[in-house]
Chain A
Amino acid sequence: MTIIDESDVILSVKDLTAEVDGIPILKGLNLEIKRGEIHAIMGPNGSGKSTFSKVLAGHPAYGVTGGTITFLGEDLLALEPQERAISGLFLAFQYPLEIPGVSNLDFLRVAYNSRLKAQGKPELDALDFDDLVRGKLDIVKMDPSFLTRSVNEGFSGGEKKRNEILQMALLEPKLAILDETDSGLDIDALKIVANGVNQLTTPDKAVLMITHYQRLLDYIIPDYVHVMESGRILTTGGKELALELESRGYDWIRDNELVGVAE
């Protein structure tokens, strides 16, 4: 029974500490995510939420100083960012980059094929890939004209986020990390993005949402809500915790935590 449980673990983070420019940001973070689960990390600005997402994806500016991250049984920290992506980790960026001169379609195909290549599978040619991607556009209600434009260039905030979810749909990650995916979205775009994520979430996969606001959680219902503060997870609860945070702010958690420490 235990063994089956173990294999269900997608991500296991133990006592993680990390810094940026020599400044410690993560100070002993613990988290475990299993198949089929949806987690949300909430917390005030500067609590280390986005740093955590960058560390998971392997951004070179973030240095891990201690702890472990195990992803699907592998030591994630030993992998290059592209190897993490190929093993099934996906980060939807808070600010997706614009890449002038690279067509979105080419970008998506290259990304898709680099995974196939790493798995030793034959790559898809342009025509086959075109069929594949067109079949996925509806997940995020994206107009085909976005495929021929440069990656994210001139896209609105909502279009960029939809493009991120389209990439997620193509890359079929085991763990999707959505970093502030709701920021800068109007309610219609938010619904489209959330709906896309929900369609892609199957029992063998997991989602980690990082968000400042409760609003996204109305559309993507989390199994667990973690509250982060000063580089650690202070408390964990169910989806009702998010509502409580929304009405009471973050201070009461801090106060509770202090009480807990004092005890």
Chain B
Amino acid sequence: MMSSPVKSQLDGVTMPLDHPPTATDNLQRLLNNRPPVTRCPWLGELRQRGLALASEQTIPTARDEEWRFTDLSALLNTQFEAVQEPLVSPNPSELTTDYLANTIRLVFVDGHYASHLSDVSGLPNQLIVTSFSQLTPDQYPLLQNYLGKQTGNEEVFTALNMACLVDGALIWLPPNAIVPCPIHLLFISSAFASPLAAYPRCLLVAQSGSQVTLVEEYKSLGAGVQFTNGVTEIWMDDQSMVTHVRVQRQNNQAIHIGKTAVSQGQNTTYQSVSVGLGGVLGRHNVEVVQVGEQSQTLLYGLNVSGEQQVIDTHTSITFTRPHGTSQQLQKAIAGDRSHTIFNGKLVVPKAAQLTDASQLNRTLLVSPKARVDTKPQLEIVADNVKCTHGATVSQLDGEEIFYLQSRGLPIPYARQLLVDAFTTEIISHIPLPQLGASLNQAIRQRVNHPM
């Protein structure tokens, strides 16, 4: 719903108000500016569908329940140029970090595949790890049952991503494939004089009995305003296991709105560790649907915000069959004047008897001006289920700091130790120790200054 006409009706005025671009204008502007699809013409039909879905909508406002706490004005007030074709070609040395060594990796710059930065050598047989743009015509049909087929495509940013799709990452695991090393997807946003918009996409299809660790990382190259609107779809056939590490560490001017949509078959385990550090606005939507019974969903999340950042995680786990389980621990550290948001939805319809779901949200406020909004959202119809939820908000404990000081630790070090202790419960689930260490380092830099 547009904000200005509503307001003018309320005021009894029928003329549109004269003020900066409305939500509709801005979404339309993004759509008008969508990058042409040159390397993957077969995406045209999907883009049309996305365009049709997005054209009917506006950029959400605080009136939309899903965006109640999240201020999108940064997106409204900036005009973004889509990246028509890869504009920069980063030097590999700018990107290569030790945790990227010896991994299979695909690198995308502003949504476009960068083959010179990617490494898919030594791939096991039958395993497909590539970009959409590298697919051969006989491979397109593989995707047709999966790409853009998750529920929730009508959601405005999912539709926008679909409308603007130019390329994407494809990971295709044949039955019983066990990938021996993590697959790393690196999505880089570059900064230019004019703000750029990029629409990364990832599709992971894990066929029955397959196992993989996927690392999905968003980074910025340079400072400057960027808009990254990503969608990752994960399809899990029966008995498959996916460990999904997602790291969003774009620069502090970026606007990042990303979605992870997961469909779990029977007896599957989806474990995700999602860390949000970047962006003036960083929003991550997670939508997991347990399609098969006896599946397990493990969600670990950590958002760390400073300055005036808004970092927001909305998760939804939908159970549809009996004996599903989920465990969720979502943590946040908010400093300066930042704002951290969590909304955790659990949907348990009648058919999902014997569901066992737990959800816990813990927030550490390290500044008196930081703000937290946290909301569990349980929609339970089945009558024989176990669903627990809880939320805590706390500050660093002065007595703990004094205890550490009395053992010789200066205050900043004592704070760091306590912050590490808070984050380790999430970071320790990342199966790549070097990535964990790199994140710890970034978190310390963000948090380590006096209250």
Contacts and interface: CB of A to CB of B under 8 A. Distances in A.
A114 B421 contact: no
Contact of B408 (A97, A99, A118): A118
Interface string B419-434: 0111011000000000
A99 B406 CA distance: 14
Contacts of A167: 407
Interface stretch (A85-93, A180-188, A204-212, A243-251): A85-93
A5 to B, nearest CB: 30
A105 to B, nearest CB: 13
B420 to A, nearest CB: 7
A12 to B, nearest CB: 21
A69 to B, nearest CB: 16
A100 B421 contact: yes
B407 A111 contact: yes
B409 A60 contact: no
Contacts of B397: 97
B450 interface: no
A101 B424 contact: yes
Interface in B373-402: 397-400, 402
Interface in A74-100: 80-82, 84-86, 90-91, 93, 96-97, 99-100
A6 B224 CA distance: 65
B399 A82 contact: no
Given A97-B399, A99-B400, A85 B420 contact: no
B41 interface: no
A228 B399 CA distance: 26
A84 B397 CA distance: 21
A110 B417 contact: yes
A102 B421 contact: yes
Contacts of B409: 82, 110-111, 114
A35 interface: no
A99 B405 contact: no
Contact of B421 (A80, A82, A101): A101
B347 interface: no
B67 interface: no
Interface in A44-95: 57-60, 80-82, 84-86, 90-91, 93
A242 interface: no
Interface in B415-451: 417-418, 420-422, 424-425
Given A99-B421, A102-B420, A82 B400 contact: no
Contact of B406 (A57, A110, A118, A150): A57
A97 B422 contact: no
A5 B53 CA distance: 89
B425 A59 contact: no
B418 A82 contact: no
Nearest to B410: A82
Contacts of A107: 404, 407, 417
A200 interface: no
Interface string B268-283: 0000000000000000
A171 interface: yes
Contacts of B417: 99, 102, 107, 110
A115 interface: yes
B405 A81 contact: yes
A114 B408 CA distance: 6
B99 interface: no
Nearest to B428: A101
Contact of A60 (B402, B407, B421): B402
Interface string B190-217: 0000000000000000000000000000
Nearest to A101: B421
Contact of A85 (B405, B422, B425): B405
B420 A101 contact: yes
Nearest to B400: A97
Contact of A171 (B400, B408, B418): B408
Contacts of A57: 402, 406
Contacts of A86: 408
Given A102-B420, A110-B417, A97 B403 contact: yes
B403 A93 contact: yes
A82 B407 CA distance: 6
B443 to A, nearest CB: 13
B334 to A, nearest CB: 18
B418 A99 contact: yes
Query: In this complex, which of B404, B406, B425 has the most chain A Cβ atoms within 10 angstroms of its Cβ?
Result: B406
Query: In this complex, which of A60, A110, A171 has the most chain B Cβ atoms within 10 angstroms of its Cβ?
Result: A110
A87 to B, nearest CB: 10
A80 B408 contact: no
B422 A82 contact: no
Given A58-B405, A100-B421, 19 more contacts: A80-B410, A82-B407, A82-B408, A82-B409, A82-B411, A85-B406, A85-B407, A97-B400, A99-B400, A99-B417, A99-B418, A101-B422, A101-B425, A102-B417, A107-B407, A110-B407, A110-B409, A110-B417, A150-B421
Interface of A: 57-60, 80-82, 84-86, 90-91, 93, 96-97, 99-102, 107, 110-111, 114-115, 118, 150, 167, 171
Q: What are the 3 closest A-B residue pairs judged by CB atoms, nearest first? A: A101-B421, A111-B407, A81-B405
26 contacts: A60-B398, A60-B402, A81-B402, A82-B405, A82-B411, A84-B406, A85-B405, A93-B406, A99-B400, A99-B403, A100-B421, A101-B420, A101-B422, A101-B425, A102-B417, A107-B404, A107-B417, A111-B407, A111-B409, A114-B407, A114-B408, A114-B410, A115-B408, A150-B421, A167-B407, A171-B407
